[in-house]
Structure 1
Amino acid sequence: MTYSFPLLNLPTAAILHVVKSMDYGEFLNLSFLSKRAKKSIELMNLKCDELSIYIGDFVHMNMSIGTKRMEWKFYYFLKKNIDEDVEEVQDEEEVDEVEADVFALPDNVELLIFDGVSSKAEWYMERLTVKNWIQHFMTIFHFSEIPHLDFSRSSSIFSIEEIKDSMISINKLSVSSDTGFDIDYLLSNFHSKYLHLGLGVFETLKKPENIMIRNYDMLRIYLNRDHPSTIILDDLLLFNSKTIKVCEANWTAKSVNRFIKHWIKGSNPRMELLKLLDFSDRAFIDTDILKDVHFTEVPADQIRWFKNQDEKLIPFEGGKDFYRQDGTKATIYNFGSYENFRCIAMCVWHPHCIHN
């Protein structure tokens, strides 16, 4: 078969040699020319180190490959057309009416490439949807899930159903409090291994227990420090995640002590790591946290390595060991209070969490 683009008439090895000398904007353009061109880019075996999709009052994707960082900004109109289109809309009532609608995801994109010092716009492309881009990237950059999807300010201007249809499986989901969405409905449509609820989001949930009982690898919650804690002991006992991080928990030592006693009796069997953080100038007292709990103090200079859900090793020094009724060991770490910030961590030494 003869191609109109001369490069594609070369043997595959020769095409690959040429493509490797291209910059990102050039070979991405090439990948759209034909199936063979796209296959040549695939053979470069480029790996996407990082991919984050942000949906707010606009849509953009950040991608890192090697030393390059690319940002894809999606628009309804390309920049060169924006002024012309704005001039066409003169009636303020018409503008208000348009702003009240739910928009389709934009399908015009601008590519910016960062080299660590500066950025420049490489090219623009029209009429290719977010869904099409994700599917294209999956093939040429060899990934099978979205590492990070972030719903931020005013993202409710877009349809949940269209966003869901555009995505593949999600590793980490972040949600802020000003999305405009019904958060319960949003979370019922998007499932992930990791969930990060931004400041005040948890308080807006109508049925928070639906989130508590899900089997997340990590659940991180930022409570609103201006309100009394909305996560009490009974709530924490429902959590079914491996790693649980609650910021602004405002728990008392008595509450922590009661939780430890419930855990000893068998609660939270999936939990591997618990972190409670809040602002307070009063450090927890170990004797209060571990009241009526048999424990062994570990030398302060003894370092043990904890393997988390990502297979990453976390060093813990000292701490106090205690055991569940089934023989599972846990350690409580009281990091005290520093600049009015205190933290307690409890790690559970399941066999797969122990680094030998």
Structure 2
Amino acid sequence: MPRNQLICYCDPFSNSNSFLMVNQDILTVFSSARLTLDDLLMLNSRSTFLVNSTLTPKELNRFLKHWMKGSNPNLKYLKIQMNTDDVSEDAVLEGMDARKMMADEKRSVEILYDIAMEPSRETIRGGYDIKEGKATILLKNGDRTFCFEMFVWNLYNPT
């Protein structure tokens, strides 16, 4: 099956409507500082990687609530990297029925990082199940960075 991928190394958000709504298997944006919540809600890609994002925890929370109501139906995997280590998990999860997974609880998932390669099989541990287990999100504060990852299980068929 043919796959398509768009990789942006510059800031594409002055005219974002032209590419965000296009069906993409993979969208990678290395300069996503100007990406807004509205832009995120327009995405129509299956796997999305956003680097240098300035989205706030409240915006991530609002995105998750929109997703739970049916937005971004093609989404299988979302990874957002931010240049901050000051993100509260509580702010991202506020008002959601999220089940904290045990640290030793694990799931296997295939992630398509690049159309030129086969999907990578990875094991994720911990995180939070949302929407009655239909997705798991990982929230990781690191050294001056924060990473938000979302895995949609009803499309990934975890083992």
TM-score, with structure 1 as normaliser: 0.41
What is the letter of the counterpart of residue 109 of structure 2? F
Kindly state the Cα deviation for residue 214 of structure 1 after the two structures are TM-superposed.
Answer: 1.1
Aligned twin of 1:291: 94
Aligned twin of 2:66: 262
Correspondence 1:283-322 to 2 at 5 A: 284-309=87-112, 310-322=118-130
Aligned twin of 1:277: 81
2:135 equivalent to 1:330: yes
CA distance in 2, matches of 1:319, 1:328: 11
Aligned twin of 1:238: 42
CA distance in 2, matches of 1:234, 1:212: 11
What is the letter of the counterpart of residue 98 of structure 2? F
2:152 equivalent to 1:342: no
Aligned twin of 1:212: 20
CA distance in 2, matches of 1:290, 1:281: 17
The question of whether the paired residues in 2 share the 8 Å contact of 1:202 and 1:222 is answered with no
What is the letter of the counterpart of residue 141 of structure 2? G
Deviations 1:198-218 (A, max 9, x none): 1x2414x5x311210111111
Kindly state the Cα deviation for residue 328 of structure 1 after the two structures are TM-superposed.
Answer: 6.8
Correspondence 1:1-356 to 2 at 5 A: 193-198=4-9, 200-203=10-13, 205=14, 207-223=15-31, 229-282=33-86, 284-309=87-112, 310-323=118-131, 329-337=134-142, 339-351=143-155, 353-356=156-159
Query: RCO (CA 8 Å, sep 6+): is it higher in 1 or 2?
Result: 2
* Secondary structure of 1:237's aligned partner: helix
CA distance in 1, matches of 2:80, 2:91: 16
The question of whether the paired residues in 1 share the 8 Å contact of 2:34 and 2:54 is answered with no
CA RMSD of aligned residues (A): 1.9
Q: Which structure has the greater CA radius of gyration? A: 1
How many residues are paired up?
153
CA distance in 1, matches of 2:82, 2:158: 29
Deviations 1:229-284 (A, max 9, x none): 311111110000001111111111100000000000000000011111021131x2
CA distance in 1, matches of 2:128, 2:11: 33
Deviations 1:63-107 (A, max 9, x none): xxxxxxxxxxxxxxxxxxxxxxxxxxxxxxxxxxxxxxxxxxxxx
CA distance in 2, matches of 1:232, 1:305: 31
- How has the CA–CA distance of structure 1 residues 355 and 329 changed in structure 2, closer, same or farther, with 3 Å as cutoff? closer
The question of whether the paired residues in 1 share the 8 Å contact of 2:25 and 2:47 is answered with yes
What is the letter of the counterpart of residue 139 of structure 2? N
CA distance in 2, matches of 1:230, 1:341: 17
What is the letter of the counterpart of residue 249 of structure 1? S
The question of whether the paired residues in 2 share the 8 Å contact of 1:214 and 1:240 is answered with yes
CA distance in 1, matches of 2:120, 2:70: 26
The question of whether the paired residues in 2 share the 8 Å contact of 1:298 and 1:318 is answered with yes
Aligned twin of 2:115: none
More helix by share: 1
What is the letter of the counterpart of residue 254 of structure 1? K
What is the letter of the counterpart of residue 305 of structure 1? S
CA distance in 1, matches of 2:24, 2:137: 22
TM-score, with structure 2 as normaliser: 0.88
Over 6 Å off, 4+ runs = none
